[in-house]
Chain A
Amino acid sequence: MNFTITRQNLHSGLAAVSASIPSKTTLPVLSNILFEAREDGVWMSGTDLDVAVRVKVPADVKEQGSLTAPGKKLQEITRELPDQPVEVTTRGDQIELKCGRSHFKLNGLPAEEFPTLASVDFSDAWDVEGKDLHALIHHTSFAVSTEESRPILNGVLWELRDGEMRMVATNGHRLARMGIPAGTSGAPSADFIVPPAALQQVQRLFKDEDRLSVAKSGNHLGFRAERTEVFTRLIEGTYPNYDQVIPRDSDKLAIVDKKALESAVRRMAVVASDQTHRIRMMFEPGRVHLNVLTPDLGEGHDELEIGYDGEELEIGFNANYLLEVLRYMPTDEVKIAFKAPERAATMEPVPADGETIDYLCLVMPLRLLD
């Protein structure tokens, strides 16, 4: 293998791939990056066996071939190299870098030892716009569960339908759901449960203007644009019926200024219990009172003027859940809907006239009374 590449291209290729390399591994080849020099450029790949990233960088390839080499060291070296073309060659299992007067030889491992990336067939793929995918991931993936005891909730549910796609994530206490109109590609409907680590790579590596092909083969999902591919193992199982738990009969509606509510909740959270983070919200016409009382610590009170003309109602929440959900609300005002102190409350954006945003977050309350 022999190719010449600009320092910039080598650096951006390594940066793209090395984020997928596990920091600790029992399999040494996983801390390496696979280089494959082809006629039209150099492909670099990295994987932690769950998620794999593959990028193509332009290079002048003199001799095709492949080898794996330590990703972290290569990245550190490239960062320090002068801005000159880098000549990369292999000698046996060693990779050699020459750039100006700098010269490095690093021990690699044969390409055959690198795990085969999932082979995903893109001939029957869905077409997705980068910006749509980004919006969905950004607004939902924060809500996934990090508890290992319920693996199904460790993923984001992605529903692809003709003309629409949706993502849903929940940890069983709060939930985020977003839908976006999508073009009709004629591809069949599908549901995937995608690990958030893969979605992070998608967010990082694809641009808003990219048009992505998304395809599934076996238990793997592939994302592909011109020079970038991300593959991931899907989470197997049946996602809980989230639609069933979204309340449709909430009869109390409040319109609240997002920033004002956020800062009031943040203030209350300071005095809330470390265990439950409980705050109480008491809604009355035109106003919401926020209260917190933590034995052995103290208490706090705040109030906000809001648009509300329903009955009085007191409801308890984990302040952290409220803050998270508020952070992702894309409008200045939010609509909070609820029915009773032990029923789920929903939060939705209040878009400008003529605009629609299909985004809903749901937070389960904390029980105040038995």
Chain B
Amino acid sequence: MNESPRTRRILLVDCDAFYVQVARLEDPEGAGRAPLLVVGGSSGRGVVTSASYEARAFGVRSAMPSAHARRLCPDCTFVPVPIGACAERSRAVRAALQELAPVVQAASIDEFYLDLTGTERLFAGETFTESAWRIREEVLARTQIQVSIGGGTRRVIAKLATRRAKPAGVFVVPEGGELDFLKTLELGDLPGVGPTLVEALAKKGLVRVEDGLRVQEPWLQNWFGHRRGAWLYRKMRGMDNSEVDPHEGRKSISSERTFFEDLDREEDLERRLLELSGSVGATLRRKGFRARTITVKLRDHDFHTRQHSRTVPEPVESDQAIRSVAGELLAELRAQRRVPVRLLGVGLSGLLERGAPHQLGLFETEAVAGETERDRTVSHIVDELRDRFGTDAIQSGRLLDGPTPGRRPRPGKE
């Protein structure tokens, strides 16, 4: 048998403004006639789930408090999320894709990875790009849903190509063209490269992927830590061996930091914890999830690693709720063993989609519900400010108090 690795053919099918499309299909006379359409947040205190491309031109974004969206675009029509219909349409798209491709993985309600590896002979008459166009047209014909398709030899390439394909298009990165494609992107476009890292990279003069490709791996490791440096090195080259797994769903979000020097003071650890909680919280909200389980991980100076988790009664999404539980978990871990700490991490699991059906609570007080509507709104507003003005636009007061403990000191002019 031929053991040499076959060129993989991976597509990411992403529904264009999915909630907006479904809302229009469900109510052709109402939502269907409103070009400026916002889905979600119609109750007044909620957040935007999705906005039409026309509304996006006014600056309306998903996860934005709807009051703010109304200010940006007073002529927008707001409709509730047709959750049931969305789930139905999502299943329909998936079912259609399952007939068109051998392996389909639903990455979210409106994103599906397809693995067409090994179908070269089956679709002998057409190129990979033509296959993608055919799939796009078939999905539209069968489900009335417009999709954009990105393609490539790896999942991460397909994912990045989808952005280029949107809206209603196809963009396939040819085999061997990956590096050229990546060179056209900014480092911040790479999945997993968040605002903090973008800033850190910019301080080294690295903004575009092209800039990063010139840096050797040991330098990256030197600057950003061994593991992160190696990860970045691979990421910039689009190296990704992950499979398209039909059973995989997002399971957790976590962030951890190895300190430049071990930390032993409670207040220093608490400050870093605050920062990590904010970082995982922002990712959680950006992905549209709420979490039920919060985990804090500690690696002591002697590499002894331990962690504590707590599952809260109601899924939470606000920084306030995450850091309050994380703070208690850290205190428990420290009470057990109080030695200098090398690494601190915060993880969120038990993820539920924000719009998913959830258990309503009897009481709205924080002591009972874990977080209040106010906590959620505050976090969304903070996200929005950071999206517009950068990560440093708004900070917790405690993080402003002097240099961050345990961070590598920046070589300054002394």
CA distance A170 to B355 in the complex (A): 25
Task: Give the secondary structure class of A's interface.
Answer: loop
Asked if A149 and B363 make an inter-chain contact with CB atoms under 8 angstroms apart, the answer reads no
Asked if B83 and A240 make an inter-chain contact with CB atoms under 8 angstroms apart, the answer reads no
Known: A172-B368, A276-B359, A362-B362. A369 touches B84 (CB 8 A): yes
When distances are taken between beta carbons in the complex, the residues of chain B under 8 Å from A318 are 359
Is A218 interfacial (CB-CB < 8 Å)? Answer: no
When distances are taken between beta carbons in the complex, the residues of chain A under 8 Å from B363 are 172, 240, 245
When distances are taken between beta carbons in the complex, the residues of chain A under 8 Å from B369 are 172
CA distance A164 to B81 in the complex (A): 48
Is A145 interfacial (CB-CB < 8 Å)? Answer: yes
**Taking CB as reference atom, which chain A residue is nearest B360?**
A364
Known: A147-B313, A149-B370, A275-B352. A170 touches B83 (CB 8 A): no
Is B238 interfacial (CB-CB < 8 Å)? Answer: no
The interface bits of chain A over 82-103 (1 if a CB of B lies within 8 angstroms of the residue's CB, else 0) are 0000000000000000000000
Known: A149-B313, A150-B367, A295-B91. A170 touches B362 (CB 8 A): yes
Is A55 interfacial (CB-CB < 8 Å)? Answer: no
Min distance, Cβ A157 to any Cβ of chain B, angstroms: 13
Asked if A368 and B362 make an inter-chain contact with CB atoms under 8 angstroms apart, the answer reads no
Report the contact-size class of chain B (Cβ under 8 Å from the partner). 20 to 34
Is A344 interfacial (CB-CB < 8 Å)? Answer: yes
Known: A171-B313, A370-B40, A370-B49. A153 touches B357 (CB 8 A): no
Asked if B357 and A276 make an inter-chain contact with CB atoms under 8 angstroms apart, the answer reads yes
Asked if A152 and B359 make an inter-chain contact with CB atoms under 8 angstroms apart, the answer reads no
Asked if B40 and A145 make an inter-chain contact with CB atoms under 8 angstroms apart, the answer reads no
When distances are taken between beta carbons in the complex, the residues of chain A under 8 Å from B312 are 147, 149
Min distance, Cβ A359 to any Cβ of chain B, angstroms: 18
Is A278 interfacial (CB-CB < 8 Å)? Answer: yes
Asked if A173 and B358 make an inter-chain contact with CB atoms under 8 angstroms apart, the answer reads no
CA distance A152 to B81 in the complex (A): 35
Asked if A364 and B362 make an inter-chain contact with CB atoms under 8 angstroms apart, the answer reads yes
When distances are taken between beta carbons in the complex, the residues of chain B under 8 Å from A171 are 313
Asked if A150 and B313 make an inter-chain contact with CB atoms under 8 angstroms apart, the answer reads yes
Asked if B83 and A149 make an inter-chain contact with CB atoms under 8 angstroms apart, the answer reads no
Is B215 interfacial (CB-CB < 8 Å)? Answer: no
CA distance A366 to B45 in the complex (A): 19
When distances are taken between beta carbons in the complex, the residues of chain B under 8 Å from A153 are 368
**Taking CB as reference atom, which chain A residue is nearest B84?**
A369
**Taking CB as reference atom, which chain B residue is nearest A368?**
B357
Asked if B362 and A245 make an inter-chain contact with CB atoms under 8 angstroms apart, the answer reads yes
Is B346 interfacial (CB-CB < 8 Å)? Answer: no
When distances are taken between beta carbons in the complex, the residues of chain B under 8 Å from A175 are 362
Min distance, Cβ B329 to any Cβ of chain A, angstroms: 11
Min distance, Cβ B348 to any Cβ of chain A, angstroms: 15
Is B211 interfacial (CB-CB < 8 Å)? Answer: no
Within 8 A of A (CB), among B120-164: none
Is A342 interfacial (CB-CB < 8 Å)? Answer: yes
Within 8 A of B (CB), among A130-166: 145, 147-150, 152-153
When distances are taken between beta carbons in the complex, the residues of chain B under 8 Å from A152 are 367-368
Within 8 A of A (CB), among B284-311: 310-311
Interface hub of B84, B325, B367 (most chain A Cβ within 10 A): B367
**Taking CB as reference atom, which chain A residue is nearest B39?**
A370
Min distance, Cβ A187 to any Cβ of chain B, angstroms: 30
Identify B358's interface contact among A147, A172, A242, A366, CB under 8 A. A366
A-B contact list, 8 entries, CB within 8 Å? A149-B313, A149-B325, A172-B314, A318-B359, A344-B362, A368-B83, A370-B46, A370-B355
With A172-B313, A342-B360, A364-B360 already in contact, 13 other A-B pairs whose C-beta atoms are closer than 8 Å? A147-B311, A149-B370, A152-B368, A153-B368, A172-B363, A172-B369, A173-B313, A240-B363, A240-B368, A276-B357, A276-B358, A368-B84, A370-B40
List chain A positions with a Cβ less than 8 A from chain B.
145, 147-150, 152-153, 170-173, 175, 240, 242, 245, 275-276, 278, 295, 316, 318, 342, 344, 362, 364-370
Q: Which 4 A-B pairs have the closest CB atoms?
A: A370-B81, A364-B360, A147-B313, A245-B362
